[in-house]
Chain A
Amino acid sequence: MRLPSLKGRRLVSALLFAGAALVAGAVIGACTSDEDQQQAQAVEQQTQQQDQDQPAAQVSGEPRGNTLQLIMDRGMLKCGVKQTQPLFGNRDEDGNVTGFDIEFCKAIAAAVLKDADAVEYIDASDASTRFELLADGQIDILIRTTTITSSRDMELDVDFAQTTFYTGQGFAVRKDSGINSTSDMANAAICVQTGTTTEQNVADHFTDIGLDYEPTGGLSQDVAAAFFEGRCDVLTADASDLASRIVVRDDADDYKILPQIISKEPLAPGVRDYDSDWKDVVNWVVHGLIRAEEIGLTQANVAANAANPPNTEVARLLGVPFEGGSVSTLGFDVVDAQFIQRAIAAVGNYGEIYDREIGDAIPRDCTLNALARPLPSEAVDCGPGEGGIMYALPYR
């Protein structure tokens, strides 16, 4: 008996074989991250269970999540960052992610994992999906120019740590446009990023001042490009976002950011709800970097200070004994005492990060991002109502 098509028959067997092989390949491929997944799922399930718990149980202070443990077991921090925003989070030609937000990922990785490079950067550029990535367990922490708002904190599965950058929603226009404030913007075409607080702020603001406008919304980098090509009269976003997008341009002088700020936009790292150990670590790493600047600890001198601490506070912060005394753990039993020392050694203090990643693109002096109590040597005279509010909480 001859069957009609041997070729075809082989094709079928081959395809079945390929299926088996593919599954095998996928399993092997998945193995590399299998553990993470299981752990991520574990966290997720835990979070879900917690959601169902009574609110009273939520505030009782017992440890709720174990993201910190998860990160330590995994040996890798999954950091959700922007990858299309100059200064804050973008990729360079080698595929590395760089920017202001990225430094905090490194600092936290250095603090927790003793290795600033043990970070996996996951793209959270799309504002519309970022919180889902966090809630989903795809990322451990969201450091992506995200504004703290009450509704996000309450409604979403996100909890915010110490603010890393203070800004407010501003407006960028062409210098020759003659627009000087939002009251000049009747019927203006406004480019705005969707899925953000800015989208809602601008709608509210224009309702308040009784003007109409024509929105064009989309991803941050797309609306910015559209604005620079003349699609819109106005680009609205966080003032820092506007500055970062203007400063990288050759024709930066043709644009200006209006002094008018219509909202508060404190940008902070976000973690999942009910995950207090992890949130504490994130929080105190940020404070530690600010504190380091307040007392003049830098990336360069941190080792020397750790070897020979000048006073008890530095010893405490860096987790080293002072004149033969014992080491204070600062009450942290989840990470070792030297976590802030490692963070500073990895990325420097807050001021160093700012100067390195943002520098003159967004001047710092006398803005909210300046230290509330600058070192005497670095103090500048600010106008009335100006001045920084970066203020580290005490390490005791």
Chain B
Amino acid sequence: MSAQAPAPPSPSPGGPAPSESVPLFYRRGFRRLLQQGLYVAATGLLFWYIYDALNLREFGFGFLSDPAAFKVANQWLIDIDGVTNSRINMYLVGVWASLRVVFVAILLSTVVGIVVGVSRLSSNWLVARMAMLYVEVFRNTPLLVQVVLVYAIFLVGAPLIQNSQEIGDFAFISNRGVAIPWPVPDAGWWGAPDWFVGVWVALFIAIGAIAMTVRRRRQDRERETGQPQYANRWAFGIFAIGALVTFIVLGLPVSIDKPIIEVGTTTRYLEGMVIRPEFAALTIGLTLYTGAFNAEIVRGSIQAMPRGQTEAANAVGLSAYQRMTLVILPQALRQMIPSITNQYLNVNKNSSLAYAVLYDDLFRVAGIIQNKAGHALEMFFVIIVTYMLISLVISAVMNFINARVTRVGV
């Protein structure tokens, strides 16, 4: 919208350059120069004042390579020892922790948003009212309180690890976390080394690429000839066959690891993966909160759809479910992407609330480093750059999706 919008308020075009008779002071170019000069001088003065006040004698990032001397909880896939590693490494551990939360919360909040947003428009009175209630409750309470509340409820509500609640025979819930089965790299039937997973993944990417190429070719041909070419079915078939062959020849590269409880003086989970309460609380809090906003965006976009779309869908005899998934949502998607992107960026920034629930995200780790080493300005610089980089990545991905979505012609 911004690109096509009319130009911002601008001084009048004013016609050609003023003639010689206009005094210098009233000449347009001169005034612009003067205004800008004054402005730059004022800004420069302000910056100089700030620079001077900050007394930047010791500005530098050398302190980040000193040993960290603290431990960071909630590590996953990596196991970095804080006693010997440098501060910057610990910070990156925090960044990784933040990224996980942001990624999961974005996915879940989108799902919640779509479900609730559609439910708000449901013809079922009860469902619509419940969706409205959800939105009004979660949109109007502070995220901080939601997060600490979810955390407190989880700690109080879930049993101690010694009496973990078993789900089926593959998962456990206790207030030490939720232990679920998780794939671990495995040897396959002929005992390959760990890096074999890489081969597997590479093969899969290759097969996927082939399938996508075939799909595009067939789509092109369909467009040229007008004959149905079943591009999606072909692509899926190729991928399935490729995967099957790989599986038969190479075996499964991962095995599913079921969690077990090791009972001792200190009871703990082994194997599998443990979703820790801190991670869960932060993610659920972010999901519920952002989900409420997303739901409103989804509802708004659907309501903005011309009524004709619904009527047309009814006319061709689609069911309510088909109407929603095939006609309404795909179109509404285009309209909601800019607002939803904003919400995703908020998720990124709001993940800093980890500070309040014992989750070692980038903000908390930065706080610990700052507490130990000082250098507040540098640490803040690092924090803001990190958040901006993550925001840029999110924006880039969403722009890509936006481009894809809007490209599909109507």
Contact = CB atoms under 8 A, between A and B. Distances in A.
Q: Do A and B come from one complex?
A: yes
Interface of A: 48, 127-129, 132, 155, 177-179, 184-189, 194-195, 199-200, 203-204, 207, 214-218, 222-223, 225-226, 229-231, 233
B70 A189 contact: no
A179 B265 CA distance: 6
A189 B71 contact: no
28 contacts: A48-B55, A128-B367, A128-B370, A155-B374, A177-B265, A179-B265, A184-B266, A185-B265, A187-B268, A188-B266, A189-B268, A194-B70, A194-B367, A195-B371, A203-B69, A203-B82, A204-B83, A207-B83, A215-B73, A217-B71, A217-B73, A218-B358, A222-B358, A226-B358, A230-B161, A231-B277, A233-B266, A233-B267
B364 interface: yes
B371 A231 contact: no
Nearest to A229: B155
B73 A216 contact: yes
B296 interface: no
A15 to B, nearest CB: 18
B155 A226 contact: yes
A225 B156 CA distance: 10
Given A179-B266, A207-B83, A231-B155, A216 B368 contact: no
B87 interface: no
B329 interface: no
Interface of B: 55, 69-73, 82-83, 152, 155-156, 160-161, 174-176, 265-268, 277-278, 356-358, 360, 364, 367-368, 370-371, 374, 376
Interface of B is mostly: loop
B144 to A, nearest CB: 12
Contacts of B357: 218, 222
Nearest to A48: B55
A85 to B, nearest CB: 17
A217 B358 contact: yes
Contacts of B370: 128
Contact of A194 (B69, B267, B278, B364): B364
Contacts of A217: 71, 73, 358, 360, 364, 368
Contact of B70 (A155, A203, A223): A203
Contacts of B360: 217
A49 B42 CA distance: 28
Contact of A216 (B156, B267, B358, B376): B358
Contact of B175 (A214, A229, A233): A229
Contact of B69 (A200, A214, A225, A233): A200
A199 B367 CA distance: 14
Closest 7 CB pairs of A and B: A218-B358, A229-B155, A188-B266, A230-B160, A128-B371, A178-B265, A184-B265
B74 to A, nearest CB: 8
Contact of B71 (A48, A185, A215, A223): A215
Contacts of A155: 374
Given A217-B358, A230-B155, A231-B175, A195 B71 contact: no
A146 B187 CA distance: 53
A50 B353 CA distance: 37
Contacts of A195: 367-368, 371
A212 B71 CA distance: 11
Question: Which of B71, B152, B160, B266: most chain A Cβ within 10 A?
Answer: B266
Nearest to A131: B371
Contacts of B176: 189, 230-231
Contact of B156 (A199, A207, A229): A229
Contacts of B69: 200, 203
Nearest to A213: B71
B83 A203 contact: yes
Contacts of A48: 55
B118 to A, nearest CB: 37
B58 to A, nearest CB: 11
A218 B356 CA distance: 7
A129 B372 CA distance: 11
